[in-house]
Amino acid sequence: MSSDTQIAQDVLTFADLGLSPKVLSAVTDAGYTEPTPIQAGAIPHALLGKDILGIAQTGTGKTASFVLPMLTRLEKGRARARMPRTLILEPTRELAAQVEENFIRYGKNHKLNIALLIGGVSFDEQDKKLERGADVLIATPGRLLDHRERGKLLLNGVEILVIDEADRMLDMGFIPDIERICEMIPFTRQTLFFSATMPPEITKLTEKFLHAPVRVEVSKAASAATNIIQRLVKSGSKPWDKRETLRNLIKAEDAELKNAIIFCNRKIEVSELFRSLLKHDFDAGALHGDMDQRARMQMLANFRDGKLRYLVASDVAARGLDIPDVSHVFNYDVPIHAEDYVHRIGRTGRAGRSGKSFTIATKSDTKYIDAIERLIGNKIEWHDGDLSTVVASEGADDD
């Protein structure tokens, strides 16, 4: 590769990918200038109408790699009642809701109708959106087929089909549903297919439903960004120990802390920590998988707009979160899966900014810390002495 080519690649921006001015303006407003590898690889081909086989993990910018070209292509034409123009299939309602958030954010200069078909919402409400005509239909397979069987949905107008997180679809038993849905959609459609891994069943599916696809493969984000300062923070193992450790950390970082996402491993810990922070007068909100879509969107908007300084979240709730300017990440719990550590701390230090992450660790977390350090290929520095210096707590605090 010549040095000229290398330089050109180094400075690739969204403006180089062929997106429309309306989409580019929304991307700039969201705080992004440079595409991730999956975006740079997929967007130009998607704009040309080619089928894409994208092999990429959550956390690589995968969602924008199909949302941005779809928005550009949807600027021509309009939807008819009960006949969506595009269809995006997601394995879970949380992922479907996150894709909707991406369309709202990046489609703010468009007048597109977006319909979300997921469980937990009344059929009548969803029917009204389909009647209006959906430019973008985002759905979980089961709910989509329910609407189809009720005669409320025609799929013969779909021009672009996205099958996202295909390996998770396989794990959840959705592949027969996916095959049924693919057969209901015109043969002439464009298909964008994404999966983190390629087991034989998924390969078979791509051979059946993709036509001469462009393969875009990006490696997993297994290393943490160098612009993020990472520290481990010792704590006693009792909940009140950890809560006090977190409060002390937040206070110590106050001068540099603009806002922070605080990660817990389980929903119950999200609720308990959120209540404790409120009790101690911290300006906090909570995000968990059981929230309805309206409440979730409001919570994210408040955090993004600076009305909330701290957001307590579980991994499920935070997957795919796209908030460009987060100064700190606190891991209240050490993640059980090492990959989740990389995703979590990647919420800070985005778009070339610097960031800080603090992970609160107890003696029972040693094996998880070892796994994280193996994955990222580095030792994480201790903030103020390692676990051998933990002093046993005397008793509970008042929360």
- Quote the pLDDT of residue 295: 81
Helices (H), the chain: 3-10, 21-29, 37-47, 62-73, 93-106, 123-132, 141-149, 166-171, 175-184, 200-209, 239-252, 267-279, 293-304, 315-318, 338-345, 366-376
pTM: 0.64
Q: Are residues 184 and 232 in the same domain?
A: no
Based on the fold, state whether residues 162 and 310 are members of the same structural domain.
no
| Shared-domain flag, residues 166 and 290 | no
209-228: average pLDDT? 78
What residue type is 350 in one-letter code?
R
- pLDDT for the residue numbered 309: 95
The yes-or-no verdict on residue 196 having pLDDT over 90 is no
CATH of the domain at 128: 3.40.50.300
Residue 392 has pLDDT above 70, yes or no: no
Q: Is the pLDDT of residue 125 over 50?
A: yes
- Shared domain check, 67 and 87: yes
Tell whether 209 and 268 lie within a shared domain: no
Classify residue 149: in a domain, yes or no.
yes
Strand-pairing partners, residue 88, are 138, 162
245 and 191 within one domain? no
Q: What's the mean pLDDT in 324-331?
A: 91
Number of separate domains in the chain: 2
- 220 or 295, higher pLDDT: 295
Q: What is the pLDDT of residue 351?
A: 64
Residue 355 lies in a domain: yes
Give me the pLDDT at residue 2, please: 36
- What is the Cα–Cα distance from 21 to 303, expressed in whole angstroms? 28
What was the pLDDT predicted at 167? 85
In a domain, 399, yes or no: no
How does the average pLDDT of the chain come out, rounded?
A: 87
Query: Range of 177's domain?
Result: 3-217
- Does one domain contain both 247 and 383? yes
The predicted pLDDT at position 145 comes to: 95
Spell out the residues 6+ positions from residue 123 whose beta carbon is closer than 8 angstroms to its own.
146, 147, 150, 152
Point out the domain boundary residue: 217, 243, 270.
217
Cβ proximity of 376 and 384 under 8 Å: no
Tens digit of each residue's pLDDT (9 = 90 or more) over 221-231: 455 567 789 99
Give dist(CA 386, CA 272) in Å, integer: 26
Q: Does a structural domain hold residue 397?
A: no
pLDDT for 391 beyond 90: no
**What are the percentages of helix, strand and coil residues in the chain, rounded to 5?**
45, 15, 40
- Which of the given ranges, 80-89, 297-306, 338-347, has the highest pLDDT on average? 80-89
Higher pLDDT, 199 or 241: 241
Same domain, 208 and 237: no
pLDDT tens digits, 73-100: 999 888 888 899 999 999 988 889 889 9
Task: Lowest mean pLDDT of 139-148, 247-256, 378-387, name the range.
Answer: 378-387
Q: Which pLDDT does position 199 carry in this prediction?
A: 85
156 in the same domain as 65:
yes
Q: What are phi and psi of 259, to 5 degrees?
A: -160, 165
